[in-house]
Amino acid sequence: MHDKTLTELAAGLAAGEFSSRELTQALLARIDRLDGDLNSFISVTAEQALAAADRADAARAAGDAGPLTGVPLALKDIFCTEGVKTSAGSRMLDNFIAPYDATVVEKLRAAGTVSLGKTNMDEFAMGSSNENSFFGPVKNPWDRDAVPGGSSGGSAAAVAAGLVPAAMGTDTGGSIRQPAAFCGITGLKPTYGRVSRYGIIAYASSLDQAGPMARTAEDCARLLGAIAGHDLRDSTSVARGVPDYTEELDAPLAGLKIGLPREYFGEGLDPAVESAVREAIRVYESLGATVREVSLPHTHYAIPAYYVIAPAEASSNLSRYDGVRFGHRCDAPADLTDLYKRSRAEGFGEEVKRRILMGTHTLSEGFFDAYYKKAQQVRRLIRQDFLDAFDEVDVLMGPASPTPAFDLGARKDPVSMYLQDIYTIAINLAGIPGISVPAGFVGHRPVGLQILGTHFAEARLLNVAHQFQQATDWHLRRPALAEETL
């Protein structure tokens, strides 16, 4: 059962081929057997999962099942989950048991899904390799010497290894799309405001967005339909109806206008990655699409703008972790100042401290106008670049990352790590949706094709991705680990 997509599992449950309990037990056994090496999970909630599976089976027996009832999945450990440790990959929250469910968790629970546990991640979602976790790095199922990408690397690795058919991630600067590319799965970052952020531990509030990670675009369409929608508890959630994202999946692509940003195919792009991406685009041409070059002239400002805005927001959001209210507290503080200093010094990892310092500096008197305000002005220009491009084309395409997955420990310089997000960060600054789909390999490490659309064009992106997956088999490839059976 572990080799089936979420859609196939849902169909199997509906046909009575197996029960949710049987499916859940099988996947829990795989996690127990295989995840010790991958380290993709922080917490496995077996008891709660089996109870949820039994409820799903009872609902199905009573004729009260929905499309996702009984389907197992996993949650990035950044979604508050009532009664379950929610750590954000940090020592700071290693003892935090969430007292309520995030809206995404609440919606998935209402849809009848079964959560198997919480997946590993870069601490507070800060990183591109999943090496910044207090709980240790995650390994890529395709090559355990390689990173899975970050910060949603645990979710990506768990799906790629066949431990779960799907998982939830969050994307602040590429943290769904880049690990999806590195692990050879499909990952969707929705439009900012399409999915509620309530109950998601905040990194950068104007950039964070939750989304699904699964094997196929069809799976992502089903999950997005379950989690999208307005939420009064989140002031950034958009009051807009939720369509059936599966309805347009089979629409033909004849006449589709694809734009290739020239800035995405220049210096720094691995030639083998470029070759795989261009071959994928030729598949689209064979499906009736037309291709033209476009320009996003402010792309080269995206990383500097992001690394002003995101750390500034992180500095503000993480100020609440002070050793007083919740989270890690140092032993035997001498006074209140010592409590604050040592609790934060002990609780936060190196990369989180680096970004807090950067953000505090840019928000300080004398630097706010020079850095933060200027970065927000650049952000507006980047957003306008995308809007201008979408006046000419339907979607944009390019690589999700300039390289395939790199080796564990290979990127010790923070700047070289930040440059891994060159093709993903601008999308978060603009608030538009993007999806990464498997599109080839460099050696035995996957390559992701990134497809971008204008605001709230998720249905179109999913259609474009799905049609590619009907014409190719990259999404069907599995690492050797995923082929192992019990």
pTM, two decimals, is 0.97
pLDDT at 305 over 90: yes
Q: In what order do the strands lie in the sheet with 257-261?
A: 41-44, 114-119, 72-76, 166-170, 210-214, 186-189, 434-442, 445-452, 395-399, 257-261, 290-294
Q: How confident is residue 485, by pLDDT bands cut at 50, 70 and 90? A: low
Predicted local distance difference test score (pLDDT) of residue 431: 98
Predicted local distance difference test score (pLDDT) of residue 400: 98
Q: How confident is residue 486, by pLDDT bands cut at 50, 70 and 90? A: low
- CATH tag, 6-256+474-483: 3.90.1300.10
Average pLDDT over residues 320-338: 95
Q: How confident is residue 469, by pLDDT bands cut at 50, 70 and 90? A: very high
Predicted local distance difference test score (pLDDT) of residue 412: 85
Where are the chain's structural domains? 6-256+474-483
pLDDT at 349 over 70: yes
- Of 128, 151, 155, 196, the active-site residue reads 151
For residue range 203-237, list pLDDT tens digits in order. Answer: 999 999 999 999 999 999 999 999 999 999 999 99
End-to-end CA distance of the chain: 11
For residue range 165-211, list pLDDT tens digits in order. Answer: 999 999 999 999 999 999 999 999 999 999 999 999 999 999 999 99
pLDDT at 326 over 90: no
For residue range 3-25, list pLDDT tens digits in order. Answer: 999 999 999 999 999 999 999 99
Q: How confident is residue 286, by pLDDT bands cut at 50, 70 and 90? A: very high
Of the candidates 249, 168, 243, 241, the one whose C-alpha atom is nearest the C-alpha of residue 211 is 168
For residue range 434-445, list pLDDT tens digits in order. Answer: 999 999 999 999
413 or 164: which carries more pLDDT confidence?
Answer: 164
Cα–Cα distance measured from residue 197 to residue 193, given in angstroms and rounded to the nearest whole number: 8
175 classed as catalytic: yes
Are 154 and 147 a contacting pair, CB within 8 Å? Answer: no
179 or 419: which carries more pLDDT confidence?
Answer: 179
Predicted local distance difference test score (pLDDT) of residue 325: 86
- Of 40, 87, 90, 175, the active-site residue reads 175
Element (H, E) at 305: helix 302-317
- Of 20, 43, 76, 128, the active-site residue reads 76
76 classed as catalytic: yes
The per-residue pLDDT of the chain, averaged, comes to 97
